[in-house]
Amino acid sequence: MEKKPATTPKPAPALLQRPPIVVVMGHVDHGKTTLLDFIRKSNVAGREAGGITQATAAYEIEHAERLITFIDTPGHEAFTAMRSRGAAVADIAVLVVAADEGVKPQTKEAIAIIKETKVPFIVALTKIDKPGANLEKAKADLMSADVLLEGFGGQVSWHGVSAKTGEGIAELLDLILLATDVENLTYDPLAPAAGFILEARRDPRRGIEATAIVKNGTLRRGESITTASASGKIKILENFSGKPVQELEPSAPAIIIGFEQLPKVGEEFGMATSDKRQATGKAEIGKSMPHVALPIKQKKDTLNLILKASDSGSLEALRTVLLGLVPDEGKKLRLVDESVGDITDGDVKHALATGAAIIGFKNRVEKGARNLGEAHSVTVITSEIVYDLADAVREFLDGTRGPIAAGELEILAVFNSEKLDKQLVGGRVAAGTIRAKAPFEIQRAVEGAEKAIVGTGRIVTLQERKTEITQAEKGKEIGLMVNAGTVMQVGDKLVVKK
């Protein structure tokens, strides 16, 4: 019997070193985004609505001729799921603790997530430049929270930093690279690309847009891509700064256009095989987001809501915040529906059929939807800040307000009231959103009543710094021309009910 020649085994693929993916976690307002601003020389914190991060963002920076990918996560309790996803995707975590405040509730929550995901971590003690900074107290707080720092009987590296002066930031980045070398992070350049979906949204111009992190292989434009819930072909591939690219290697953040369905945040993606339904990646790691469609029957003691948000993570946070509003007395809350995208006339029709108010977070109202809503007195409230939306709903649930106000404005100045149909006033938006052409009621403190309704009217035009605008959000000071049957007075509240 003729002997077959021995086959030479194929050499194992050469693994390459990959940059670390670092998640930044901590309590709200402890300086996470400001720290990243200094690192990437940008000013994201100054642009965040309400001064807080309300979405997960990924950025790539270079230090000591090496790349580092950062994931910035929200600090408020409403965004727990976002932080959990960030930690599950990351190779290393940076726990941010303000030196002037020490360990706070969301710090403890971040510590619990870090321990649950077993991600190696470093502590950054921020705001060391502030007069009230107390490093020893902050370190003692961490010890009490079972975080054992180097030099205090433990092995967790730490460094004091100031995002204002830059003190300690280079040393913090050195610690991250040192931790990276210990972890020995590698990837196979020949493997099909795989990674995780960080965020997903519907862009009115580009369609479904997913933000992802590549963990293995090389992600290329033109390839088919799939997750446990969605699939498609990569039509547009961009890096974290929005620049079009042909391919991306680990651990790069990617913006992907081409999914046919909205992928769930937290899912792992892979490149499609010959069977388009099968993926090379693993099963989803994040909790799937159910679509709410409850039995609908309007009741007097129940507030029906339709939730809309700009992206999946924001919708998840909005739902979490609103479902956490449980009044001792007053009305109940029922979620009729929820989805991602701008508010459309279809949403308004659904609201009409169910007697629901529409709550929009970080999105816009399409013109047709606004006109239809105004014509049929459908309440539509939008804001860039989730807590403002929660406040509006809470007032209704507590019984302190009847129908939800879309916006409230306090009159600070009256410039001209000679003609009732062309009164010129100035004011500050106290809640919600004030829109041009919207009808309103005038509330005034009178003897025996704090909120007496003394008249109604309609907004003719809005101006901000002498420029005509269509709407203004909470905190803005604007000028208005109004048509009202009552002479406006300083101190009046202009309340838009729809």
pLDDT digits (tens, 9 = 90+) for 283-297: 333 333 333 333 344
User: Which architecture characterizes domain 302-397 according to CATH?
Assistant: 3-Layer(aba) Sandwich (3.40)
pLDDT score at 220? 94
Domain ranges within the chain, ordered by starting residue: 16-186, 194-271, 302-397, 407-496
Q: Is the pLDDT of residue 47 over 60?
A: no
Q: Give pLDDT, residue 399.
A: 58
Selected residue with higher pLDDT from 385 and 44: 385
Give the H or E element holding residue 35: helix 32-40
More confident residue, 238 or 381: 238
Question: Residue 315 pLDDT more than 50?
Answer: yes
Spatial contact of 248 and 67, defined as CB atoms under 8 Å apart: no
Question: Could you tell me which residue, 161 or 366, shows the higher pLDDT?
Answer: 161
What backbone phi and psi angles, to 5 degrees, belong to 315? Answer: -65, -40
- 227 close to 199: Cβ distance less than 8 angstroms: no
More confident: 315 or 375: 315
pLDDT in the model for residue 275: 42
Question: Using 50, 70 and 90 to split pLDDT, how confident is the model at 380?
Answer: confident
Tell me the C-alpha distance between 127 and 124, whole Å.
10
Calpha distance 138→125 (Å, rounded): 8
Q: Give the mean model confidence (pLDDT) for residues 464-475.
A: 83
Distance CA 128, CA 161 (A): 6
pLDDT band at 276 (very low <50, low <70, confident <90, very high): very low
Find residue 458's DSSP bridge partners: 439, 483
CATH 3.40.140.10, domain 194-271, yes or no: no
Tokens of 223: 């390839």
Percent of the chain scoring above 70 in pLDDT: 81
Q: Which range has the worst mean pLDDT, 323-332, 361-370, 375-384?
A: 323-332
What's the rounded Cα separation, in Å, for the pair 144 and 121?
A: 17
How many Å apart are CA 35 and CA 122, to the nearest integer? 14
Decide whether 16-186 matches 407-496 in CATH topology.
no
Contact 431/405 with Cβ under 8 angstroms? yes
Calpha distance 307→339 (Å, rounded): 7
Radius of gyration of the chain (CA): 26
Structure confidence at residue 156 as a pLDDT band (50, 70, 90): very high
pLDDT > 60? residue 188? yes
407-496 fold: Elongation Factor Tu (Ef-tu); domain 3 (2.40.30)
Single out the residue of 429, 412, 415, 433 nearest to residue 363, CA to CA: 433
What rounded mean pLDDT belongs to the chain? 80
Euclidean distance between CA atoms 386 and 314, whole angstroms: 9
> What pLDDT is attached to residue 329?
57
The answer for residues whose C-beta is within 8 angstroms of residue 178's C-beta and 6 or more apart is: 157
pTM for the full model? 0.60
pLDDT in tens, 452-468: 777 888 898 999 888 88
Please state which architecture CATH assigns to domain 16-186.
3-Layer(aba) Sandwich (3.40)
Min mean pLDDT across 222-226, 229-233, 455-459 is at 455-459
- pLDDT at position 79 is 41
pLDDT at 265: 79
Q: Kindly report which listed range (140-154, 174-188, 343-357) carries the lowest average pLDDT score.
A: 343-357
- In angstroms, what CA-CA distances link 122 with 94, 139, 153, 165, 348? 5, 13, 15, 21, 48
